[in-house]
Chain A
Amino acid sequence: IKTQPDIKQYYWIA
C-alpha cells in the first residue's frame, strides 16, 4: 500500500 506524504516534509519553513 502506498501512502501520500505531506508536502511540508520536503521543504523548510521560510
Chain B
Amino acid sequence: MFEARLMNATILKKILDAVKDLLNEGTFDCSDSGIQLQAMDNSHVSLVSLTLRSDSFDKFRCDRNLSMGMNLGTMAKILKCANNDDTVTIKAQDNADTVTFMFESQNHEKVSDYEMKLMNLDQEHLGIPDTDYSCVVRMPSMEFARICRDLAQFSESMVICCTKEGVKFSASGDLGSANVKLAQTSNVDKEEEAVIIEMQEPVTLTFACRYLNAFTKATPLCNQVQLSMSADVPLVVEYRISDLGHIRYYLAPKIEE
C-alpha cells in the first residue's frame, strides 16, 4: 500500500507545471524515504530530477518500493480538478496498475477521486556523481527567469560567465546583442533577493536558451535558484521546494564542433 498526503494541492500543481514542458511521462519511484522522479526530455538533452522527502508529507506510507509510470499530461489535467487549498492524497495498492488522486475540500464537504492508469515506462536511470562545482550562483529565481526570457530574443544560446565579482549573461545574434551583469550582493538584507557567488575558478559556458527557459517554469516553487557550473560538465539548475525537497535540471554546455 502506498499513500501520500499533502495539505495543499498548490505545491503539486506547481511541480507538474515545472516538468510538463520537458517531459510527457515519468516514473515516480516511491520508497520509505519519499518520492523520486528522474527523466530525460524527449531529445535527451536535459535531465530532470525531482526529490520529495517522506517526512515532509502530512501522511506518508509506503509498504513496498513502488515505481509508478505516469502520463504527466494526464496527471496535470487531474490536478487542475483540485482547488489550491484542497488536501491531496495519492494512493496505490502494491502491484496496482492504477493510481488514485483524492481531493478533499478544507471544510471536508467535497471529496473527489480520480483514478489514472499507470504506464510501463522503460526509462533509463542515470547515475549522477557528486561534483564540486567551480562556481555556484544563488540568485532570485524571478530574475533568472527574466534574464532567460529577455536574452532568448537575441539568440538560441546564452553565455554565462561567472567570476567572483559577479555573473554575466550574454546573447548575440543577427538582431544584436545583449549583456546582463549581476554583481554579488554586498549587503544581504533580504536573503531571497541576494545574488551570492561561491567561486573556486571562473567559468564561461554556453547553454541553449530553450532549455533554460523550460527550467524557469519552476520559478513559482522557490524565490531563489541555484546554478552550479564547472567546465565541460552539465549545469545544474536547482529549485528548493520549501521543506519538501528539490527539483534539479541538468543541461550540458554547448561544445565547439
Interface size on B, residues (CB 8 A): 23
Evaluate contact between B124 and A2: CB separation under 8 angstroms.
Answer: no
Q: How far is the CB of A7 from chain B (nearest CB, A)?
A: 5
CB under 8 Å from chain B, chain A span 1-14: 1-14
With A8-B126, A11-B128: A3-B44 Cβ-Cβ less than 8 Å: no
Evaluate contact between B45 and A4: CB separation under 8 angstroms.
Answer: yes
Evaluate contact between B254 and A4: CB separation under 8 angstroms.
Answer: yes
Which of A2, A3, A14 is close to B125, meaning CB atoms less than 8 Å apart? A14
Evaluate contact between A2 and B44: CB separation under 8 angstroms.
Answer: no
Cβ of B27 under 8 Å from chain A:
no
Q: How far is the CB of A14 from chain B (nearest CB, A)?
A: 4
B129 surroundings in chain A (CB, below 8 A)? 11
Which of A1, A8, A14 is close to B44, meaning CB atoms less than 8 Å apart? A8
Chain A interface residues toward B at CB < 8 A: 1-14
**Smallest CB-CB A-B distances: 7 pairs:** A2-B254, A14-B127, A11-B126, A14-B125, A12-B127, A5-B252, A6-B44
Chain B interface residues toward A at CB < 8 A: 40, 44-47, 124-129, 157, 206, 208, 233-234, 250-252, 254-257
Q: Mind listing 29 A-B residue pairs with CB under 8 Å?
A: A1-B256, A1-B257, A2-B157, A2-B206, A2-B257, A3-B254, A4-B208, A5-B254, A6-B45, A6-B252, A7-B44, A7-B45, A7-B46, A7-B234, A7-B250, A7-B251, A8-B124, A9-B252, A10-B234, A10-B252, A11-B47, A11-B127, A11-B129, A12-B126, A13-B125, A13-B126, A13-B127, A14-B125, A14-B127
